[in-house]
Homo-oligomer: A and B are copies of this chain.
């Protein structure tokens, strides 16, 4: 039983005690977010040392600063600027004093210290009792939530009780503007390319006038982004005197054993904006929100948040019987996945959500290929807003394609926030052009599952057409291969094999991308929409797509009867796993890229991912042969790997493997499997756990408008159930090792297929 999980609980993670290591570690796990703002699970009080905190930052989705990328040697078309999501003023900080003693864990006599993350409610609650050197003691409860109902609002309630009267208590609230911010590790101390510590405060701030509380305007140093933050403290005036001195609000009162003292703190974070002149209206807007929030009061604001959480769990929960820890682990993953998603059409999901600064807060293909399916089948409106973000950066993607000497079409940035390429290492960045097809794939699936024609024939078509165009120019018809369409000098998902020709995953996804574009352009032609004129799609172009689609080269080794990851993969020497010390993993931190590239060794699922996505296009024998081969040469150094191998294992009847991979996946962050959870959760892997249940164990696939299931519930569990939304139906699926049950909860009757047999719901 994991130490955060108590017997009997199914919805909570509870940390007991004051062990600094544990508190540091849980800072990530206890992060709260609503897709707009996120704040890490750090403690409220100041400590002399860093020992209780890795980084207590508060982040805003899409609020980043830029700095020029320095290269040892420049080349044309390199990404020009880093984009880095930056910590913004943090509203969790407060000082608590009893008499003339200030509270902290390093010096205070503290009892019954615990923090509880309630996944069902989306609440983080901290309680403890503190006795000062005069044997005066108080009990403290601090509750924190980030509102889904008011996306701008971080709410905190502090409750102080005592068995003694008239103990003088003081609470000082501050908006931490990070003036004294220093980085814990410098880039030189830890050159791990997967993370980037903040070197310094990256914004300027100035106070804005308010009748009450404290309001500031912040603007980034280089990217010229702006935001307004409004920090407001409320309490019972008859008991507590609130005094504002400079940046601090001090609440003073005396304890009363008959009644606890309650102080509420609301902090509103505006949405980001890029025109300083808009500051006034954003400030006004926050004032209105704040007055509404104050008028409603903490309890009502909290109730609305709870009911929002209820609605979320109603459609999104996965119930698993037979393994309590795993049940909680699953919910923990869904909870964070839900927290991570931008919902405004201008933001997306960073690889770490808003739980940490790893990967600089960039958006990757992770969104479409690992996180998107969860939203697509449970909250399609969020799925749509994620695609709207991609549509919003089409201009930058077109520009990027031009830089790559592609005259028509668009190339989405491999890693970005603002749409511009931010990867300083093109062999594992720009070369991963498969991101174009990944996005097109998500667009297509969204169209099929949601039947949102309005989107598909506008934004959807823009994306499908511009990505299809890209393939025609990047690749060519290779006379050396009887005119097959080839894609050279690309990098597939497996970043341990870079700059190769005809990566199977990339080529297959490009083929699908072309077929998606063809299908929707033909539909649009029938509809006589003028969208096609707007996009200048001609008959000739359509014909070229058809040629490329039908003649797409898919590398296959006839002799071995194996799918080839790329043209030359089998010509590489197999990595000497036997003599590779355990400490040398992940390989990317211990071997030169060329050393890795010239071997058969995979960081993650590549061919196996392609085959899982289009499972029905392959024979079972083929799937098994390829799986057996590629599993042997895959290190799973990427967190995107295990879930895919697990899902495929389940579908090719390797049930033991399926279960083992899944258990690694599901508990990756709670057990810090990759030892870097402190930098943030692995959001894609969390999406992978949902996929593992629904598309792995339940074997759900959606082809040509029909839902297919090939369920295999691990014998380790007694029951597994979840819900999916498809074509306006809400369907509940329950699995046991021996049976399956499908229930239509909402919507018109529908026919599904289980193991080849039709079932009418």
Contact = CB atoms under 8 A, between A and B. Distances in A.
Interface of A: 69-79, 82, 187, 191, 193, 403-405, 423-427, 430-431, 474, 476, 478, 480-481, 486, 488-489, 498-499, 501, 567-568, 570-573, 588-595, 597-598
A405 B488 contact: no
Most chain B CB within 10 A, of A71, A501, A589, is at A71
Given A71-B71, A71-B72, A77 B592 contact: yes
A190 B666 CA distance: 51
A187 B478 CA distance: 40
A528 to B, nearest CB: 36
B499 A592 contact: no
Given A431-B594, A489-B594, 8 more contacts: A75-B592, A76-B588, A403-B592, A404-B592, A426-B593, A476-B573, A489-B572, A499-B594
A567 B598 CA distance: 14
Nearest to A424: B72
B478 A193 contact: no
Contact of A72 (B69, B191, B501): B69
Given A72-B69, A73-B424, A480 B571 contact: yes
A542 B191 CA distance: 41
A588 to B, nearest CB: 7
Contacts of A423: 73
B592 A405 contact: yes
Given A74-B193, A588-B75, A588-B76, A594 B430 contact: yes
Contact of A570 (B75, B191, B480): B480
A489 B591 CA distance: 14
Contacts of A486: 571
Contacts of A480: 570-571
A78 B73 CA distance: 12
Nearest to A488: B598
Given A488-B568, A571-B481, A571-B488, A430 B592 contact: yes
B591 A77 contact: yes
A698 B404 CA distance: 45
20 contacts: A70-B72, A72-B79, A73-B425, A74-B193, A75-B593, A76-B588, A76-B589, A76-B590, A76-B593, A403-B592, A426-B592, A426-B593, A430-B594, A431-B594, A474-B598, A480-B570, A481-B571, A488-B568, A499-B499, A567-B568
A439 to B, nearest CB: 19
A478 B599 CA distance: 12
A748 to B, nearest CB: 49
A568 B553 CA distance: 15
A478 to B, nearest CB: 6
Nearest to A77: B592
A70 B70 contact: yes
Contact of A426 (B70, B404, B572, B594): B594
Given A481-B571, A488-B571, A571-B501, A425 B72 contact: yes
Contact of A75 (B187, B425, B572): B425
B571 A77 contact: no
- Residue among A75, A191, A474, A481 facing the most chain B CB atoms (10 A cut-off): A75
Contacts of A430: 592, 594
Contact of A597 (B73, B499, B571): B499
A74 B591 CA distance: 12
Contacts of A73: 193, 423-425
Interface centre among A76, A501, A589 (most CB of B within 10 A): A76
Nearest to A501: B568
A478 B72 contact: no
Contacts of A588: 75-76
A406 to B, nearest CB: 9
Contacts of A424: 71-73
Contacts of A499: 427, 498-499, 594, 597
A25 B396 CA distance: 42
A226 to B, nearest CB: 27
Given A488-B571, A571-B488, A597-B489, A76 B426 contact: no
A259 B69 CA distance: 64
A314 to B, nearest CB: 43
A492 to B, nearest CB: 14
A578 to B, nearest CB: 15
A393 to B, nearest CB: 19
A191 B588 CA distance: 29
B591 A405 contact: yes
Contacts of A82: 72
A23 B509 CA distance: 59
The 6 A-B residue pairs whose C-beta atoms are closest, nearest first, are A72-B424, A77-B592, A489-B598, A69-B72, A73-B425, A476-B573
A723 to B, nearest CB: 41
A100 to B, nearest CB: 49
Contacts of A193: 73-75
A573 to B, nearest CB: 4
B72 A595 contact: no
A427 B588 CA distance: 17
A78 B404 CA distance: 26
A189 to B, nearest CB: 12
A573 B475 CA distance: 8
Contacts of A405: 591-592, 595
A404 B72 contact: no
A149 B388 CA distance: 76
Nearest to A81: B72
Contacts of A425: 72-73, 75
Contacts of A426: 592-594
